[in-house]
Amino acid sequence: MNDEFLPFARPSISQEAIAEVVACLESGWITTGPRVKRFEEDLKVYLRAPHCVLLSSATAGLHLALLALGLRDGDEVITTPLTFAATLNAIVLAGGRPVLVDVDPHTFNMDVAAAAATITARTRAIVPVHFAGLPVDLDPLYELAHEHGLRVIEDAAHAIGTEYKGRRIGSFGDTQVFSFHPNKNMTTGEGGCVATRDEQLARSISVLRFHGIDRDAWNRFGKEGSQHYEVIAPGYKYNMMDIQAALGLHQLPALEGFIARRSELAERYQHELAEWRELTRPGTPAYEHRHAWHLYTPLINPEAAGMDREGFMSAMKARNIGTGLHYECAHLYAYYRQRFGFQPGQFPHAEHIGERIVSLPLFPSMSDAQQQRVITTMAELFGRGAT
C-alpha cells in the first residue's frame, strides 16, 4: 500500500502569493485596506460584475445578501436540499423560511420546473446552488423569478469560473455569492465575495459587513473630519483582511489554469469510469455550459459495489486516500426536521443522491499517477482486478 496520504482537496499556493502575504505583514496594514480594494477591482474585471463586496466567507455573503432583502417573518426562500448547511442556515438567520425543491437526478441541480410549483404569495427569493460548478438552468429560473417578482441570490460557492450559455456566472442576473474556502476553486484561506448588479444591495452589504458603519451617511449629516462616522444599523464583523486578499490577488490570475487542470482530471474520471456498474457518474445537461469542476461526485451503487458509501469512504481511507461528502441532504439535519417538519421521503432524488454521493480526489496539483492510484484502488475494492 502507498503510505503517502492523498487528500481529496488541496489548495495550490504560489511562491508569489506567499511573498505577497509576507509583504502585507511587513507593510504594517494587515486588515481591510489597499489589498482588499485591489482584489475587489480584479474580481470586478474577472466576473464582469459592476459591484463586488468582499467578506470573511461565502456564508457571511449569503447571510448579508439575504438580510439586505428585508425578509419578514414567514417570508419564503426557495432552495435545494442538496447543499451545504450554510445555504439553509443563512436563509433562517436572515429571517426566512426555507422552501425546498428536489433536484434533477442527473445534474444534481435544482429542478427549475419543480420550483414553479412551490411559489406562494409569501415567496420572496430563490437561492439556486451551482452544484460542483455545474450551472443551474438559469434562463428558465430568471424567467420564473421575473414573472413572480422574486429576487435571485445564487449560491455560487462552487462556481467561480463557471459559464452558462457563454456567460460567466457573476456577469449577469441578480446577485452571486462566491467562496474562497481552501477547498474551493480558488482560496484566500477563508473568504467570500458578493457580486451584484444592484447598487443599493451592494451598499447595504458593505455597511452591514462592518458594524453598520456608514461613512457616506455621516457625510450626509455634514460633520467634518475622518474620525467621525455614523452607525445606521447593528452590523456584523464580516470584513475580509488584507492578509487574505494578498492570497486572492495571486489566486485569481491562476484560476483559469486551475480549472483547466480540474477539467482534465474530471474528464479522465468520466472516461475511465464509464463502464463501471458500481458507480453512477455525474451527468451533464443539454444546454451549453462550462463546468468549473469544483468537485467530482459519482454515486456509489451499493448492490453492484458490494458496499455502501460509508463503507467505500472508510475503505479508501484505510488505503490512504481521502474522499469528501458533499452533501447529505440538509433538510434531514435535526434542526431542520424539528423547526420546519421536514421528513425523509419528501425529496426522493436528493435523498437518493445524498445517501450515495462521494467526492473523489480532485485538485489542480494532483498528478496523473495520483489519479491512477485512485482508479486502481477503486478497481481493487470493487474486485475488478487491475486496470
Ligand X SMILES: *Cc1c(COP(=O)(O)O)cnc(C)c1O
The nearest distance, CB 84 to ligand X, in angstroms, is 4
Identity of the residue, 59 or 280, whose beta carbon is nearer to ligand X in the bound complex: 59
Q: Of 84-123, which residues contact ligand X (CB under 6 A)?
A: 84, 86-87
Active site residue 237: no
Q: Counting contacts by CB under 6 A, is residue 43 touching ligand X?
A: no
Q: Which residue of the set 184, 223, 237, 317 is catalytic?
A: 184
The nearest distance, CB 205 to ligand X, in angstroms, is 15
Q: Of 149-178, which residues contact ligand X (CB under 6 A)?
A: 155, 157-158
Using CB under 6 A, which of 24, 43, 52, 58 touches ligand X? 58
Q: Counting contacts by CB under 6 A, is residue 187 touching ligand X?
A: no
Q: Counting contacts by CB under 6 A, is residue 209 touching ligand X?
A: no
How many residues of this chain interact with ligand X, rule: CB under 6 A? 14
Q: Of 68-87, which residues contact ligand X (CB under 6 A)?
A: 83-84, 86-87
Q: Counting contacts by CB under 6 A, is residue 179 touching ligand X?
A: yes
| 3-state secondary structure at position 113 | helix
The window from 53-61, 64-72, 199-207, 246-254 that contacts ligand X (CB under 6 A) reads 53-61
Instruction: Choose among 76, 118, 125, 84: nearest CA to 101.
Output: 118
Give me the half-sphere count of Cα atoms (radius 13 Å) on the Cβ side of residue 141. 25
- Encode 233-300 in three state secondary structure: CCCCECCCCHHHHHHHHHHHHHHHHHHHHHHHHHHHHHHHCCCCCCEECCCCCCCCEECCCCCCCCEE
The nearest distance, CB 133 to ligand X, in angstroms, is 10
User: What residues contact residue 73 under an 8 Å CB cut-off, 6+ apart?
Assistant: 95
Residues 230-248, buried b or exposed e (16+ Cβ, 10 A)? beeeebbebbbbbbbbbbb
Residue type, 73: D
Using CB under 6 A, which of 49, 53, 59, 356 touches ligand X? 59
And the C-alpha cell for 94?
A: 436572515
Residue type, 219: N
The nearest distance, CB 265 to ligand X, in angstroms, is 19
Count each helix (H run) and each strand (E run) in the chain, helices first: 15, 14
The nearest distance, CB 327 to ligand X, in angstroms, is 8
The DSSP result for 135-162, as a single string, is PP-HHHHHHHHHHHT-EEEEE-TT-TT-
Torsion of CA 112, 118, 123, 128, to 10 degrees: -30
Using CB under 6 A, which of 11, 32, 57, 107 touches ligand X? 57
The nearest distance, CB 344 to ligand X, in angstroms, is 22
Identity of the residue, 63 or 250, whose beta carbon is nearer to ligand X in the bound complex: 63
Cα–Cα distances (Å) from 26 to 13, 23, 49, 245, in that order, read: 19, 5, 32, 15
- Binding interface with ligand X (CB under 6 A): 57-59, 83-84, 86-87, 129, 155, 157-158, 179, 181, 192
Active site residues: 184
